[in-house]
Amino acid sequence: MELLLDSLFNGVAIGSVLLVAALGLAIVFGLMGVINLAHGELMMLGAYTTYVTQLIFKLPILKPFYNWYVIISIFLAFIVSGVVGIILEKLIIRRLYGNPLETLLATWGVSLILQQFVRSVPLSYGAGLIIALLLGLILPLLFSNKIKQSTKFKYYKFGAWSIAAILGVSSAEFISSLISKLGRASARNVDVTAPLWMRGQIEILGNTFPKTRLMIIVITLISVLAITFFLNQSAWGLRIRAVTQNRQMSDCLGISTEKVDVLTFGIGSGLAGVAGVAVSLLGSVGPNVGGNYIVGCFMVVVLGGVGNLLGTVFASFGIGIMTDLIGAGRLLNIWPNMPIPFSNIVNFFATTSMARVMVFALIVIFLQFKPSGLFPQKGRMVEN
């Protein structure tokens, strides 16, 4: 029984990482039909945001609050990845709606650019650029309606972007000096240290569980509940579902489909940043950290049913439990009298990488019989 509980926990922990990573993709790919291969790089930005937040909280003035930097980094990662996603939607994706192949190629190119950007540009300059973009987008929103409607608004907007650029450069210099003081001249592969309250293990029902993985499960549950509440209870969530089911009719009823697209892409990208926070707590953060999850994310979305959040949850936990049972060899311990041919197969796939291959092969076989996934779309959503 203890072995089964341990296996279920590890599977849920693996599935939680997949779920929080695939949740944003389920919104962008499932609700908008956009194949975003740069989703993994948005996760990478969230992971690096966590690292920069950790550095800032090591300052003497913030050191008393260091143990809470993870909570702050969740919100900051959501904002950073969300803003980058919005910029990506406005500059590239908006011109490619209805062309999935072109979208796939464009986002793949963006992912390569972001990876090379992280490899070539110092972390401090990258952080300064993101801060400048954030301020440049936020400051014009703070102007009064009178200024926005005036003929000189473009000059005010130019001034706001100029201030944002200055503050971005100043932030880059500040972060650069902070990294050099801590002996981190190179930030290509960095480590995020969990705060004290997340270290060690906790005992539940006689079993010990790592606090870090429990925190990731909590982050995942909060993310799922928040996005479910938003889509089903808020006015903008209703607009998103309306545009998803019938874009032309929604446009005729006065719903701004462009704003819905921007909001949807921003939320999906922001959730990728939250996934980056979870991933940063599991190992080193590098340029390729997001690429390790992108295939699994797409597999989760397709297996669960495109656009179905409940299916995404079931698919994530199912893949996580199967990966742990096969990859860790626990299936042989739970079923010691397994027939020799099956036990040989399980032994062959009893590594993390090979277990992933077997799980994906089983998913491909499953999709041959049920190509729409566990929870296929119904009604008008199938027609779009």
Predicted pLDDT at 31: 67
For 237, residues 6+ apart whose C-beta sits below 8 A from its C-beta are 230, 231
Helices (runs of H) and strands (runs of E) counted in the chain? 17, 2
Residue 379 has pLDDT above 50, yes or no: no
Please compute the mean of the pLDDT values over residues 226-231 and round it to a whole number: 87
Across the chain, where does the E strand assignment appear? 201-204, 207-210
Name the residue among 1, 81, 15 with its Cα closest to residue 359. Answer: 15
Q: Give the relative orientation of helices 100-120 and 39-56 as an angle to the nearest 10 degrees.
A: 30
What would the pLDDT profile of 18-30 be if each residue is shown by its tens digit? 888 888 888 787 6
Q: Give residue 27's identity as a one-letter amino acid code.
A: I
Predicted pLDDT at 151: 77
| CA 226/CA 213 separation, integer angstroms | 20
What secondary structure does DSSP assign to 104-121, as a single string? HHHHHHHHHHHHHHHHHS
Predicted pLDDT at 305: 78
Predicted pLDDT at 185: 43
Domains parsed from the chain with CATH numbers: 2-122+187-382 (1.10.3470)
What would the pLDDT profile of 198-211 be if each residue is shown by its tens digit? 887 787 666 677 88
Three-class secondary structure of residue 187 per DSSP: coil
Q: Cα 104 from chain centroid?
A: 18
Predicted pLDDT at 78: 92
Residue 283 has pLDDT above 50, yes or no: yes
CB atoms within 10 A of CB 166: 12
What would the pLDDT profile of 78-128 be if each residue is shown by its tens digit? 988 888 888 888 888 888 877 778 888 888 888 888 888 888 777 777 778
Name the residue among 32, 26, 7, 82 with its Cα closest to residue 220. Answer: 26
Three-class secondary structure of residue 313 per DSSP: helix
What would the pLDDT profile of 125-180 be if each residue is shown by its tens digit? 777 887 888 788 778 777 777 777 777 778 888 888 888 888 888 888 877 776 66
Measured CA to CA in angstroms, residue 87 lies from 72, 84, 94, 130, 366 at distances of 23, 5, 10, 11, 37
